[in-house]
Amino acid sequence: MALDPSLPVLVVDDYKTMIRIIRNLLKQLGFANVDEASDGTAALNMMREKDYGLIISDWNMEPMTGYELLREVRADDRLSRTPFIMVTAESKTDNVIAAKKAGVNNYIVKPFNAATLKSKIDAIFGDAS
């Protein structure tokens, strides 16, 4: 999968600060088409209206968590191949394994830095950025 910086990215987090941080990091990496949602339900609705090339989502949100969003996405024929990165404070081994089994492409534990986000995006898109 080649990285196209014009591809739309959806950032999902219930903390506006975190959305702003990720949006700025993505901008520095060349992504200009970034949308945001504050929970899984809002994100899923947006994904059904627009094609996103990458989802970057927190886990702990209400009413729909990032994990539930991931499962919904992977169960939807049209959305199931969308790359999905979890960015979360949850680092318990069982939870990381559950996310991996649910089909997450990569997992970033908070706090993180720009290099980590870039390396995970590069890993998904074959180091093409």
**Which of 3, 106, 121, 125 is the binder for another protein (CB under 8 A)?**
106
**Which of 67, 73, 83, 121 is the binder for another protein (CB under 8 A)?**
67
Taking the complex as a whole, the smallest distance from the CB of residue 50 to another protein amounts, in Å, to 26
| Largest Cα span, the chain | 35
Query: In this structure, is the dihedral angle defined by the CA atoms of residues 117, 24, 56 and 10, taken in order, positive or negative?
Result: negative
How many residues of this chain interact with another protein, rule: CB under 8 A? Answer: 37
Residue 128 in the binding site for another protein (CB under 8 A):
no
Amino acid (one-letter) located at 120: K
- 3 contacts: CB under 8 Å, gap ≥ 6: 121, 122, 125, 126, 128, 129
Is the peptide bond between 63 and the residue preceding it cis, with omega within 30 degrees of 0?
yes
**Which of 1, 5, 20, 76 is the binder for another protein (CB under 8 A)?**
20
Which residues bind to another protein, rule: CB under 8 A?
Answer: 13, 15-18, 20-21, 24-25, 28, 59-60, 62, 65, 67-68, 89-98, 100, 106-114, 116
